[in-house]
Chains A and B, each alone.
Chain A
Amino acid sequence: MELSIIFLPLIASVISGFFGKFIGDRNSEIVTSALVSISALLSIFVLYQVIVNQYEENIVIATWINSGSLDVNWSMLIDPLSAIMLVVVTSVSSLVHIYSIGYMSHDPHKPRFMAYLSLFTFAMLMLVTSDNFVQLFFGWEGVGLCSYFLIGFWFKKESANAAAIKAFVVNRVGDFGFALGIFLIFYLFGTVNYSEVFQQIPTVVDKNLLFLGFEIKAIDLICLLLFIGAMGKSAQILLHTWLPDAMEGPTPVSALIHAATMVTAGVFLVVRCSPIYEYSPLILNLITIVGMSTAFFAATVALVQTDIKKIIAYSTCSQLGYMFFAAGVGAYNVAMFHLFTHAFFKALLFLGSGSVIHAFKDEQDINKMGGVWKKLPYTYALMIIGTLALTGFPFLSGFYSKDAIIEFAYLRGNTTGYYAAGIGILTALLTSIYSWRLIFKTFHGEYNNKEIKIEETHESPMVMLIPLFILSIGAIFAGFLFKGLFIGSGDENYFWAESIKFLEPLSTDHPPTWFLLLTPCLVTISIPIAYYLFVKNKEIPNGIVSMNKPLYKFLVNKWYFDELYEVLFIKSSKRLGLFLWKFFDGTIIDGFGPDGISSFIKKCSIKANKFQSGFIYQYAFVMLVGFSAFLTFLIVR
C-alpha cells in the first residue's frame, strides 16, 4: 500500500504522457486527478497510522548503484517526518490537479501538462521518502527537471524558456554543493544511508579536514555543503533569482511547485539532517542569518512589485526564509510546522491569484485591476482568508506557526536569536503591508483595466473554486488543530520520535507577554493602514516613492541581483568560452600544433622547391660554394 502512494502518480504520468492522445484530454485529466487523489487519501491514512500507532517502516524496493563499498537502494522510508511530507505533497498536488482541469481548459496540451504534474508528484515523493542521500538527490534533480518542464510549458514564450533554463542551472549550482556534501559523507562514513550516517556522527565531531587550504571541521563542512543545496532549491538569498522568474509557468504550477512542495525541499533537507546539524552550531548560525536575510530582502522587494504572481513569489521566498531561521535556531519542528501551514495558505493564495488572472484573461499587473470584489466574491473571500493566514492574523494557521518561529528565536537567548526575532517581527509587518496592498489593489478602488470591460470579468468555475475552498479550510484550521502535534511540549507520545534530533531539549519557557502580543498587534493594525494607503489616499505611497527614487529603483530592480549575475557569470562565461575556443584552441593549439606544423613543412618545401630551378649555372654555383667550404674546413682543421 505504501508503495502505491509513490507509484500511482508515476502511473498517472505515464498514462497521460504516452497515451494522452488515445484516451483524450478529459480522460487523462480524470485519470491523473483520480490516481493522485487516491495517493493523497492513502497518505492521510499512513499519517494517521504514524500518529496513532507510531508506525514506522523502511521498505527496500531494489538495488540502484552498488559499486564497491557504495550501496544505494531504491527505498521508501516512512517515519513521522516523511509522513507529514507525504500528506502535504499529495494533498496539495491532488487539489492542484483538479484545479488545473478548469484553469487549463483553453490549453491545447492538457495531457502533457497533467503528465508533468503527476511526474513531479512522483519525483517529490521519491525525495521525501528516501532513506539515503543519493535517492534524495534523484528526487531533488527530478523535481528540478519537472519544474524546468513546467516553467517552460508555454515553450513559444522566449521569457518562459529563459526562466526554465535559469531555474535549472541555478538549481544546479546548489546541487553542486549538495553533491559534494554527499561525496564528503561517503568519504567520511563509507555509506550514504541516513540511519548509518546519523549513527556515526558523534564519532567525527572533533575531526578536522584540510579543504582547499583551510582547516575546517568535518561536520561544519558537510552541513555547509548540504545547505548550499538547500539554498538553491529553496531560493534563499544569492540563489533566489530563479524563483520570481519561474512565475512564467502556468499558475497551478506556481502553487504546487513554487509554493507548497518543491521549494520547501531545502527546509526538509535541513530538518531531515538535524542529527548532523545539531553538532554544527556554526552552520546553524549561518542558516539563521541566511534565512532572516532572505525573509527581509524578499519582503522589501515584494512591497513594490506590480505583478500579482511575483509578489506572491517573493512572499514565498520570504516565508522560506522564516522556515530556515526556525531551523537555524534549532527549532526544526517549528520549521516543519510553518512548512505545513504555509503549504495550505500559499497554495490558496496562488490558486486564488490564478482565479483572478483567469478572470482578467491572463492579465497579471495589479495596476490594471481593482474594484472587482463584487464580481469575484468567492475568489475575493478565499484570497482574504489566505492573506489573513499568511500575515499571521490571530487564530488562523499562519499565526500559530509564524509566531512560534519568532518566539523560539527569542528564546534561543543569544545574539543571533534576538536579532532574528527582531527581523522576524519587522518582516511580519512588511508581509502584512505587501499582502494587503495586493488585495486592495486587486479587488478595491477603481477599475483600472482599459482592455477588458468590468462586465467581462467573471468568477471561476466550480472545478477551480472547490480546491480553493478545501485549501482555505486548511489555511484556517491547520494551525490550531496541529499545533499540539507539531510543537506541543507534552512528553507522552512525542510525535517526531527519532526523525528529528535535539541535542538539548527545546526551551519550554514563555517569552514575556508584551512580546507575544507585539506581532499580532502590528499585523492587525497594518490592515487599516494599508487600506488607507492603497485605497483611500494613494498620494501618500506615490509621494514616498517620488521622495525616495533611488531606494524605490533599488527595490523594483530586486536589489540588482539579476544585473549583477548577468555581468559576473553569464557574460563572462560567454566571453571566456569564446576566448578559449577561438584563441586557445584555434590560435594556440591548432596554430602551433597540426596547422602550424603543416604550414611550416609547406614553407620549407616551397623553399626547397626554389632550389630546383633547372638552371645549370645555379647548380654549378652551389656546388662550387659547397666544395670550397668543404676544402676550407679540411685545411683549417
Chain B
Amino acid sequence: MDFPILSSLILLPIVGALFLFFTKDKDGNNLTAKYVALFATIVNFLISIYLWISFDQTTSSFQFVEERVWIKDFINYKVGVDGISILFILLTAFITPLCIVSVNNTVKNRLRDFLIAILIMESFMIGVFCALDLVVFYLFFEAGLIPMFLIIGIWGGPKRVYSAFKFFLYTLLGSVLMLVAIISIYWISGTTDVIKLYELGIDAKYQNLLWLAFFSSFAVKTPMWPVHTWLPDAHVEAPTAGSVLLAAILLKMAGYGFIRFSLGLFPLASEVFTPLVYTLSVIAIIFTSFIALMQEDMKKLIAYSSVAHMGFVTLGIFTLQQQGIEGSIIQMLSHGLVSAALFLCVGVVYDRMHSRLIKSYGGIVTIIPKYSILFMLFTLAALGLPGTFGFVGEFLILMGAFKDNFLVAVIASFGVILGAAYMLWLYKRVVFGKLVNEDLKKMVDLNRSEYLILICLAVPTLFFGFYPEPLFNTIEVSVSDLINMHNLNIASK
C-alpha cells in the first residue's frame, strides 16, 4: 500500500491540535499557538496540492483509496477521492490557513482553544469530502457541527447562545433522519460501502423515502429555503473566522452530499423529486435576494446572498446536465472563495469600528483605498461579473437549467439582476458617498496579514475567472460518468 495520503490529510490537523492542547494558554497574542496551527494547516495545504498534482484526471474511479476494518463485517474505514471531491479538499485546505491568519485581529480570549476548534474542524471537513463509507461520512458530517457550535457559542456576539442553539437544532434534526436512512440502507443492502452501493444499486421501492431522509439533512445544511433561517443568525453572531469557515466550507458539505449520495445512490428518486428541488431553489434565489436587498447588517446581507448562491447550486445539481453539475461544483468553489473574502472584508471594518451596520459607514474609499479595491473585486465576483470566478459557475448552471426547464432558468436568471442590485447597493452605502461619520477618519488601511489574506483570495478569484480550465479538467470525467451512470439507471428501470 502506498503512503496513506488522505488519512494524513485528515490526521495532521488533529495532531496539530494535540500539540496545541499541551501548550500553555496565554492571554493576548499567543504566537506559539498560532505558528503551530499555521504550520499544520500549511503543510496540509501543500499535501493537498501534491494530491491534486498526482491525481489522475482521465478516470472517474476513486483514487488513493484506503480501507481498514473498523468493526468487523460492519463498518470499514474507507476513504478515497474522485474528480468531484478532490477540489473540495483543496478548498478546505486552502481556506483554513487563511482563517488562522485572520484570527490575529478578531479573537481576543482563549486563542488556543479557538485554534484547536478550527484545526479539528478542518480534519472533519476533509473527512467528509473523502469518506467512502456512509457511516464514516455521517460521523464526520455530524462531528463537524460540534466545533462550529462551540465557535459560535463561545466566541460569538451578544446573541450567541440563541444562534448556536438554533444552528445546532436545525442541523441536528435533519441529521437524525439521515442516520435512520443509513441504518436502513445497511439492512437493505448489507453494506455501507459507497463504491459497492454504486454497483449494487438500491431497490426502487425504498429510494424515495431514503432520498427524503438524506434530503432533510442536506437541505438544512445547504441551506435551502425554508430551512435557511439559522444561517443569517449564525453568521451574525459568529466571529469572522467562524463565518468564513461556515460559508466557505460547511455549506459545501451539503452540496457535495447531494452530488455524491442523492444523485449517486438514488437516481430514480432524484428524478422524481427534481421538481421539488427546482421549486425550492428558485424560491431561495428570488426570495432571499429580495430579503438581502433590505438588510441593514452587512453580515446578514452576505448571509442571505449565500442562501441565494446556494440556491443556484442545488438548481444546477438537479438539472442532471453536464453544464449544470459542473457549474454547481464551480459555483461552490467560487462561493467558497468569494463569500469567505466578503466575510473577511466585513471583519476588517468591524475590527476597526465595532459595527456591522451599513448605515454607520459611508465614504471610506479615500480613507482605506486598498481595502476598497479588494472589496470591490469580491463584490463584483459575488454578483457574477464575467471575468471573475463567480460568473463561470452561475452561467453554466443557468445554461444547464435552460436545457432542462425554460421557466426555471428564466426565473433564476432574474436573481442575477437582483444580485447586482443588492451587492452594488451595499458597496455604495459602505464605501462610496459622503463621509458622515467622523470616527471613520481614524480607520487605518489593511495591515499586512489582512492584505495577504485578501490577496490570496483575490488571485484565484481572478485567475479562475479567466482560465477555469484546470478545474474543468479535473471534474470532467467524474461528472460525465456520474451522469452516464444516472441515465443508465433511469433507462434500465
Contact = CB atoms under 8 A, between A and B. Distances in A.
Given A67-B327, A179-B398, A142 B433 contact: no
Interface stretch (A48-56, A161-169, A299-307, A447-455): A161-169
B402 A180 contact: yes
B323 interface: yes
A577 B322 contact: no
Nearest to A586: B229
A585 B232 CA distance: 11
Interface in B392-432: 392, 395-396, 398-399, 402-403, 406-407, 409-410, 413-414, 416-418, 420-421, 424-425, 428, 431-432
Contacts of A578: 294
Contact of B432 (A155, A168, A175, A574): A155
30 contacts: A63-B467, A65-B392, A65-B395, A65-B396, A65-B472, A67-B322, A67-B323, A67-B326, A68-B323, A70-B323, A134-B386, A138-B387, A141-B385, A142-B385, A142-B387, A155-B365, A156-B363, A156-B432, A169-B417, A172-B417, A172-B420, A176-B414, A179-B413, A179-B416, A183-B403, A186-B399, A212-B406, A577-B294, A589-B229, A594-B229
Interface stretch (B18-26, B175-183, B285-293, B349-357): B285-293
A66 interface: yes
A590 B410 CA distance: 29
Contacts of B230: 594
Contacts of A152: 428, 432
Contacts of B392: 65
Contacts of B380: 145
Contacts of B110: none
B163 to A, nearest CB: 11
Given A179-B398, A593-B229, A68 B416 contact: no
A585 B363 CA distance: 32
Nearest to A160: B432
B291 A165 contact: no
B190 interface: no
A228 to B, nearest CB: 12
Contacts of A63: 467, 469
A161 B433 contact: yes
B466 A161 contact: no
B402 A184 contact: yes
Contacts of A573: 290, 293, 418, 421
B433 A212 contact: no
B293 A577 contact: yes
A594 B170 contact: yes
Contact of A67 (B291, B433, B466, B472): B472
A212 B409 CA distance: 11
Interface string A140-152: 0110010010001
A20 B290 CA distance: 39
A65 B327 CA distance: 10
Contact of A584 (B287, B386, B413): B287
B399 A70 contact: yes
Interface-central residue, B292, B294, B326, B476, by most chain A CB under 10 Å: B294
B321 interface: yes
B166 interface: yes
A114 to B, nearest CB: 16
Interface string A280-304: 0000000000000000000000000
Given A585-B229, A594-B230, A168 B293 contact: no
Nearest to B415: A176
Contacts of B326: 67-68
B386 A137 contact: yes
A68 B402 CA distance: 15
Contacts of B365: 155
B275 interface: no
- DSSP class of B's interface residues: helix, strand, loop or mixed? helix
A168 B433 CA distance: 17
B200 interface: no
Contacts of A504: none
Interface of B: 166, 169-170, 226-227, 229-230, 287, 290-295, 321-323, 326-327, 363, 365, 380, 385-387, 392, 395-396, 398-399, 402-403, 406-407, 409-410, 413-414, 416-418, 420-421, 424-425, 428, 431-434, 466-469, 472, 476, 480
The 8 closest A-B pairs by CB, nearest first: A68-B322, A183-B402, A577-B294, A138-B386, A577-B290, A155-B432, A581-B291, A577-B293
Contact of A594 (B166, B387, B421): B166
A233 to B, nearest CB: 14
A153 to B, nearest CB: 11
Contacts of A137: 386
Contact of B410 (A148, A187, A212): A212
A64 interface: yes
Nearest to A63: B469
A452 B287 CA distance: 53
Given A69-B322, A158-B433, A577-B290, 13 more contacts: A63-B469, A65-B396, A67-B322, A67-B327, A152-B428, A152-B432, A155-B431, A156-B433, A169-B424, A175-B416, A585-B291, A593-B227, A594-B170
- DSSP class of A's interface residues: helix, strand, loop or mixed? helix
Contacts of A584: 287
A70 B403 CA distance: 12
B491 to A, nearest CB: 19
A155 B99 CA distance: 32
A145 B406 CA distance: 28
A138 B322 CA distance: 22
Contacts of B428: 152, 161, 164-165
B130 to A, nearest CB: 24
Given A155-B432, A168-B424, A65 B229 contact: no
B322 A183 contact: no
Interface string A566-609: 00000001101110110011000110011000100000000000
B20 to A, nearest CB: 34
Interface-central residue, A134, A148, A581, by most chain B CB under 10 Å: A581
A532 B418 CA distance: 50
B465 to A, nearest CB: 9
Contacts of B293: 573-574, 577
B462 to A, nearest CB: 12
A44 B398 CA distance: 39
Nearest to A165: B424
Contacts of A211: 406
B417 A176 contact: yes
Contact of A176 (B166, B416, B431, B472): B416
Contacts of A581: 290-291, 294-295
B124 to A, nearest CB: 24
A62 interface: yes
Contacts of A589: 226, 229
Interface string A59-98: 0001111111110001000000000000000000000000
Nearest to B291: A581
Given A63-B469, A161-B428, A179-B416, A574 B399 contact: no
A565 to B, nearest CB: 13
A134 B323 CA distance: 14
Nearest to A595: B166
A173 interface: yes
Nearest to A68: B322
A134 B391 CA distance: 11
Contacts of B403: 183, 186-187
B480 A68 contact: yes
A581 B402 CA distance: 29
Interface in A363-408: none
A37 to B, nearest CB: 25
Contacts of B385: 141-142, 145
A67 B226 contact: no
A593 B229 CA distance: 9
Contact of A155 (B323, B420, B433): B433
Contacts of A165: 421, 424-425, 428
B425 A179 contact: no
Contacts of B292: 577
